[in-house]
């Protein structure tokens, strides 16, 4: 019954969108360019010589073609983060999951099919650490026959939070993986490519947003940082959250937001204070035993025609380890039953026919590379399986029934149960490496419980699922209890999200209907964890009709080296 209700709602929404859908074309030229920051010059792979890259601006239900020209020295792919790509996994983008890399001196055109997404998403490279410099915003405006469920703002501004390294992102992770050591911490954080005024280099620039008194602005905030959740605030101004991950939420006010890597938030702010310059600022949040560097990066929220200075001592943000501030913010995120959202259709207990319980851990494995400087290198795992990228993409192997590329036997339970968030003395969990997928049938009602562990340094994990928005129905601290914790689930107004943060000493539960056939990547959006293997693949088998099956494989897909 739940799937039927969902289908009727989406069919109605799709009919409205098709009445005014448009087609857009973009050209992305990806090459290395030099950028000077922190009084150093770094060479980055970027799109159209821009850091961050160009913004894609469309309406809900549109189709976008992006022709990507690789003018760099190595292959890469691009992912359209949060776009569901209905029945169209071929153009989702993660390297060796749905395609092989775009080779140097070649080009590849992506077809991006938008459906019910609304608000702000983003695009980024999905190869090694290249997303650190290859990324940009996707702004999805209401369809021509739609309005937003809040008063039309007087203006808007995209704000991308980033990690800055004095070096090339791919070289940084390649060196760390070869040595078996953790990658270095970032040298700074950035707002729209600007480092602000806190890092000591006189030539660094600061991002400025000019506003008019008594006008209201929509901020489209994206966390593109590599490994850091971020607090964000504008001094003396109240933020009103209206959307998360391209889905409207019940509006609520806060002095700050907390946003995880991969997440997007739409926020309203009114310029209702005395004319002046006010700092906007960002700093990391962490509940790990090995936290990131605690830098504060600044921007300026500047009233028109005001001339004067700002005072760095006025910056107030929650402390980096302020778990109460984190909980206070995320606990207020709720779905809203507005016509611009798909009808709320949460799988209920009697719907669920596929349950998966996944533990998240940082582990170690023998380092066998000739460049190793340690005997055991870092690994990461889901249910003690550390993901290995195959030599051709999983989607091609699945579609063509090529054997030996992946296995359909990802464990639906951890191999052993222990006090995941407690004392691990004596716990030695064996880690295996492999390319193992979660397989479900079209139409299955799926529940996935994600459980953090204290393996490694512990800490949060922002988990992103491609091809889907899911309902975040539950969360808690300690070890998940399958008998009692489901009674605490929110099945009334859980938010729709594509990236969910699993707290460092706790768990989250998500639910969704498997209504998008294809091969979809699921991984931690801390890049160091993905590089170490904290990922898997969700395969949703075809339904019984053409409309419930994967679209045919395009003839233009990049070739893999071994095919």
DSSP code at position 102 = B
Helices (H), 128-168: none
Q: Which CATH superfamily is domain 349-548 in?
A: Cupredoxins -  blue copper proteins (2.60.40.420)
Q: Is the pLDDT of residue 563 over 80?
A: no
3-state secondary structure 246-291: CEEEEEEEECEEEECCCCEEEEEEECCCCCCEEEEEEEEECCCCCC
pLDDT band at 18 (very low <50, low <70, confident <90, very high): very low
pLDDT in tens, 99-145: 999 999 999 999 999 999 999 999 999 999 999 999 999 999 999 88
pLDDT in tens, 470-485: 999 999 999 999 999 9
The distance from CA 136 to its chain's CA centroid, rounded to whole angstroms, is: 13
- Name, in order, each residue with C-beta under 8 angstroms of 1's C-beta and a sequence gap of 6 or more: 351
DSSP code at position 116 = S
What is the rounded average pLDDT of the residues 264-272?
98
Distance (Å, rounded) from C-alpha 168 to C-alpha 42? 7
pLDDT band at 7 (very low <50, low <70, confident <90, very high): very low
Chain-wide mean pLDDT for the chain?
94
DSSP code at position 289 = S
CB contact at 8 A, 160 and 148? no
Which is more confidently placed, 145 or 158?
158
Beta strands 354-366 and 445-452 are parallel
pLDDT band at 72 (very low <50, low <70, confident <90, very high): very high
Domain residue limits, the chain:
349-548
pTM of the model: 0.95
What is the rounded average pLDDT of the residues 547-561?
96
pLDDT band at 19 (very low <50, low <70, confident <90, very high): low
CB contact at 8 A, 240 and 251? yes
Q: Return the closest-CA partner of residue 95 out of 521, 405, 402.
A: 521
């Amino acid at each position: 019954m739940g799937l039927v209700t969902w289908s009727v709602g989406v069919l109605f929404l799709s009919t409205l969108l098709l009445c005014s859908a448009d087609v857009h074309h973009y050209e992305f030229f990806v090459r290395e360019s030099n950028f000077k920051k922190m009084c150093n010059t770094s060479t980055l792979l970027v799109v159209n010589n821009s850091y961050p890259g160009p913004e894609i601006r469309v309406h809900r239900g549109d189709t976008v073609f992006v022709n990507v020209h690789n003018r760099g020295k190595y292959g890469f792919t691009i992912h359209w983060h949060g776009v569901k790509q209905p029945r169209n996994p071929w153009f989702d983008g993660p390297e060796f999951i749905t395609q092989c890399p775009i080779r140097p001196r070649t080009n590849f055109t992506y077809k991006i099919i938008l459906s019910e997404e609304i608000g702000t998403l983003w695009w980024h490279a999905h190869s090694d650490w290249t997303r650190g410099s290859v990324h940009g915003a996707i702004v999805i405006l209401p369809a021509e026959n739609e309005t937003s469920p809040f008063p039309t703002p007087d203006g808007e501004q995209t704000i991308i939070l980033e990690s800055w390294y004095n070096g090339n992102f791919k070289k940084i992770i390649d060196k760390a993986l070869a040595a078996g050591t953790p990658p270095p911490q970032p040298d700074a954080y950035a707002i729209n490519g600007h480092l602000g005024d806190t890092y000591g280099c006189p030539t660094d620039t600061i991002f400025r947003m000019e506003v008019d008194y008594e006008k209201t602005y929509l901020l489209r905030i994206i966390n593109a940082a590599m490994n850091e959740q971020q607090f964000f605030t504008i001094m003396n101004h109240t933020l009103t959250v209206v959307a998360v991950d391209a889905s409207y939420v019940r509006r609520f006010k806060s002095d700050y937001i907390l946003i995880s890597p991969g997440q997007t938030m739409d926020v309203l702010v009114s310029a209702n204070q005395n004319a002046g310059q006010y700092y906007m600022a960002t700093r990391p949040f962490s509940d790990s035993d090995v936290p990131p560097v605690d830098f504060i990066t600044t921007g300026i929220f500047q009233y028109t025609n005001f001339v004067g200075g700002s005072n760095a001592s006025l910056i107030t943000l929650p402390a980096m380890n302020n778990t109460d501030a984190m909980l206070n913010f995320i606990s207020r995120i709720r779905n809203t039953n507005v016509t611009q959202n798909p009808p709320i259709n949460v799988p209920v207990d009697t719907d669920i026919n596929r349950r998966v319980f996944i533990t998240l851990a940082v582990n170690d494995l023998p380092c066998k590379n000739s460049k190793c400087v340690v005997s055991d290198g870092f690994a990461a795992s889901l249910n003690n399986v550390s993901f290995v990228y195959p030599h051709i993409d999983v989607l091609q192997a699945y579609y063509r029934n090529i054997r030996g590329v992946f296995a359909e036997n990802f464990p639906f339970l951890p191999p052993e149960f222990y006090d995941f968030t407690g004392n691990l003395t004596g716990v030695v969990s064996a880690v295996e490496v492999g390319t193992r997928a979660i397989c479900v049938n079209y139409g299955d009602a799926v529940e996935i419980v994600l459980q953090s562990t204290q393996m490694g340094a512990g800490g949060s994990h922002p988990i992103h699922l491609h091809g889907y928005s899911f309902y975040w129905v539950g969360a808690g601290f300690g070890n998940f209890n399958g008998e009692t914790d489901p009674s605490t689930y929110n099945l009334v107004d859980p938010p729709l999200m594509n990236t969910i943060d699993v707290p460092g000493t706790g768990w989250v539960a998500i639910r969704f209907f498997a209504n998008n056939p294809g091969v979809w990547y699921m991984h931690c959006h801390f890049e160091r964890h993905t590089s170490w293997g904290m990922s898997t693949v969700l395969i949703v088998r075809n339904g019984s009709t053409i409309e419930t099956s994967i679209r045919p494989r395009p003839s233009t897909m990049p070739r893999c080296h071994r095919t």
